[in-house]
Structure 1
Amino acid sequence: MHSSSRRRLLVAVALSTVVAVVGTACSTGSGSSGAKGADSGTYTIWDPYPQFAKGSAWTKLLDECGTEAGVKIKRTGFDTSDLANKTLLAAQQGNSPDVLIVDNPVVSTLAEAGVLTTTEENKLDTSKVDPNLLAAGQSGGKTYGTPIGANTLALYYNKKVLKEAGVDTASIKDWKSLTAALEKVEKAGKKGITFSAIGTEEGSFQFLPWFWGSGAKLTELDSAEAVSALSLWKNWLDKGYAPNSVINNTQTTSWQEFAGGDYAFAENGTWQLANAEKAGFDYGVLPIPGADGGNAAAPTGGEFVTLPVQEDTGRYATAQKLGTCLTSAQNIYDTDTTLSYVAPTGEVQDKQVAANAELKPWVDAVKSAKGRTSDDLGTKYPKISEQLWKAVQSALSGSKSPEEALAEAQSAVK
């Protein structure tokens, strides 16, 4: 399936470049490493959910899938930012886990390093997965796993603030109408919108809906469309519709600003739903609008179930059973409810909305979402993203115009 010596060379190269894009929209925590059991009846699963301890619904599911496949499960939960490097090291040592659940932007890095089997090889069924979500796990025309769930960005809004400002959310259909709403809010003595524009992957992650919503492409950072997106954010800061604090805001501190109750809007993700319920005011959710209408493509967070390359190819059949069990319709529904994720298939999305109508705008946002490494960008994405967040920082701080900042970013990528 793969040449061991070539794969280990590729892994060594990947170790020197990974990983700028993990942890933006996923669960985090701390975990400890674990080696594959010597007993052939023990299969290892690594995941980025260390917050789920033994006895949790998640670990019970892993054990149930193991029982169904006739094997014991040895599971290790890692911090998201550690998992990619641990996986590359394990592959270099010939000790990869049997099943790996990993943040979607990392899939292409692991695939290009020769760490993962393709779905053509491992027989994981992806036929029901929404194509826009599956694209995050594709590289070089091949698919390397299947998503366990997705999250993305949308606009939370404070109903009381908008009502006092005379804003009807039904009127917000594009950038012009959103900016008009912010103007009304500001004139009513309240605050407009908060988001994260920090100089890290979080800043790029939050800028991408506006970047893509303008029609811009990551292969052309200095296009007129890209300039229009960055100019939109800069204009909001200049007019006081967004605070200068966005330059240093993480998604967490941005949320804390919104939770204070004075802001009309906050760009944030599904992972804030539990906090939204605790905020103490009525809120709603809108998909982020595109420049001229429709829903903008927001970047997807969430993980993929993948099957790493094994020296002993006899392990694949059981690993495939485990992956298939974890991504069955019922198990996806249960897992995504726990993780506040939107399911990757229309069938389960419909079930989620039937159970909780408030998930409808999130399902709509996920249907329009896009993987950061889609368009076959693969391992090119981290470098592009770094230049993008640097451009955002330069423009919002006023050190460069949007045109200058993005021209410099495009030059650096080339």
Structure 2
Amino acid sequence: MHSSSRRLLATVALSTVVAVVGTACSSGAGSTDAKDADSGTYTIWDPYPQFAKGSAWTKLLDKCGTQAGVKIQRTGFDTSDLANKTLLAAQQGNSPDVLIVDNPVVSTLAEAGVLTTTDDNKLDTSKVDPNLLAAGQSGGKTYGTPIGANTLALYYNKEVLKEAGVDIASVKDWKSLTAALAKVEKAGKKGITFSAIGTEEGSFQFLPWFWGSGAQLTELDSDEAVSALSLWQDWLKKGYAPNSVINNTQTTSWQEFAGGDYAFAENGTWQLAGAEKAGFEYGVLPIPGSDGGNAAAPTGGEFVTLPVQDDTGRYTTSQKLATCLTSTQNLYDTDTTLSYVAPTSEVQNKQVAANPALKAWVDAVKAAKGRTSGDLGTKYPKISEQLWKAVQSALSGSKSPEDALTSAQAAAE
């Protein structure tokens, strides 16, 4: 694509990117330096500013560079900052050689003409789980490969459930989960906490229940969708979930659970370290579908992508760098560091062999799907905004679930 076209499309995409990033990410800052095309230096941008020079991550980047015969110039950005910097760099014809970016942003950057396809760049994605790869697909083309995935599941406090007489093996669907919450509440403890805040985090946390009902994002007002929102509303009405969920972020809802009084918390793999420090025995259960089985939860995590370059001769080396970063051993090491589930069954099996407690997370990731999957692409942010607004309306009591979702569907269209 010509750089003038890229400039135009990248400008259009700027407003879309901000809405879909930052669901489960770290903060920090970075600075950009122009790359010298003739110096044997290749630029890599990533959303891991927490990893400073000398960390295992930066050592891996340097190792992959050495194997490819080039030097690496790496910059770590805050996730939302990275998306915007990437679009601006594309306008200026100064994109990084390798870009590691939050998965919902991939389709936006692809539609803006910023990324090469795997057909163009020859990245091998054959071992990647199809449900995870789908987050990086748009218009029938694939625009990168996942470096790892995180998702949502239910953490549970074993002691609280024991005191309430709840056998976790009995929790298999919405009916049995609600029955467990009733027992917990009767025993004088607290039921379940989650994030229903009016941002992307609220949509992210509602989606497992939405998808677990059988609902589709193209039909927000379906009977299935209404049943999911009614479930959450009923939990608040009965006191099984606190009113604070309306304002809870994933961090504040986790803090509620870590206090030790809640039976369940919906949260992600990124809380594993916090769970170990919580001071009570915990377990993890994939979020159940309405009638049983594992609900599809949304995937978090990043894709390794190769942005469009005016100098197409750079792609061969960039492909070597991306292939190195996503090799079996390097995926295993990276995903252990990031508390991610790997995107391939081969590495997932290695993770579970090393830590059997990860099995519930691997099961959750295998059932998960990308928020932009099904070719939603840049339509997703608008749909998501209407979804979180509907959740807020229903949980605050200002609208019934039916009315809230009817309004959401009309606005999304």
Shorter-chain TM band: over 0.9
State which drifts further: 55-64 or 23-32: 23-32
Counterpart position of 2:40 = 41
Deviation of 1:25 (Å): 1.8
2:3–2:91 CA contact under 8 A, matched in 1:
no
Contact 1:146 1:305 in 2 (8 A): yes
2:78 and 2:182 map into 1 onto residues whose CA distance is: 41
Q: Give 1:23's aligned residue.
A: 22
- CA-to-partner distance for each residue in 1:167-190, whole Å, 9 max, x for gaps? 001000000000000000000000
1:14 Cα deviation from its structure 2 partner = 1.0
Aligned counterpart, 2:158:
159
Residues 37 and 44 in structure 1, CA contact (< 8 A), matched pair in contact too: no
The answer for the alignment partner of 1:348 in structure 2 is: 347
2:123 aligns to what? 124
> Pairwise mapping of residues 188-199 of structure 1 onto structure 2 (< 5 A)?
188-199=187-198
Give me the whole-angstrom Cα distance separating, in 1, the residues matched to 2:268 and 2:28.
18
Residue 404 of structure 1 is matched in structure 2 by 403
- SS at structure 1 position matched to 2:28: coil
**Do 1:343 and 1:349's aligned partners in 2 also have CA atoms closer than 8 Å?**
yes
Identity of matched residues, %? 89
Aligned residue in 1 for 2:183: 184
SS in structure 2 opposite 1:20?
helix
Q: Give the whole-Å Cα distance in 1 for the aligned partners of 2:410 and 2:36.
A: 49
Q: Are residues 1:50 and 2:53 paired? A: no
TM-score (norm: length of structure 2): 0.99
CA drift of 1:38 comes to 4.6
- For the pair 1:250 / 2:249, whether they are aligned, the reply is yes
1:350 and 1:27 map into 2 onto residues whose CA distance is 27
Where in structure 2 are there 5+ consecutive unaligned residues? none
Which whole-Å deviations, capped at 9, do the CAs of 1:33-89 have from their partners, x for residues lacking one? 232235430000000000000000000000000000000000000000100000000
CA RMSD of aligned residues (A): 0.7
- The answer to whether the aligner puts 1:150 opposite 2:156 as a matched pair is no
> Quick one: distance in 2 between partners of 1:277 and 1:204?
27
Q: 1:16 to 1:252 in 2, by over 3 A?
A: closer
The 8 Å contact of residues 16 and 381 in structure 2, kept in 1 or not, is answered as no
Could you say what secondary structure the match of 1:19 adopts? helix
Query: Conserved in 2, the CA contact under 8 Å of 1:147 and 1:305?
Result: yes
One-letter code of the match for 2:10? Answer: V
**Counterpart in the other structure of 2:324:** 325
The 1-side partners of 2:277 and 2:145 are apart by: 33
What TM-score, normalized to structure 1?
0.99
Distance 1:17 1:127 in 2: 30
Tell me if the contact between 1:255 and 1:266 (Cα under 8 Å) persists in the aligned partners. yes
Task: Write the letter of the residue equivalent to 1:327.
Answer: T
Question: How far, CA to CA, are the matches of 1:276 and 1:78 in structure 2?
Answer: 27
Counterpart of 2:67 in structure 1 is 68
Which residue number in structure 1 is paired with residue 280 of structure 2? 281
Q: Equivalent residue of 1:337, what SS?
A: helix
Give the Cα–Cα distance (whole angstroms) in 2 for the partners of residues 207 and 34 of structure 1.
40
Structure 1 residue runs without a partner (length 5+): none
Report the Cα distance in structure 1 between the residues aligned to 2:296 and 2:216, rounded to whole angstroms.
11
Residue range with higher mean Cα deviation, 31-40 or 351-360: 31-40
Task: Give the counterpart letter for 1:221 in structure 2.
Answer: L
Q: Does structure 2 retain, via aligned residues, the 8 Å contact 1:37–1:74?
A: no
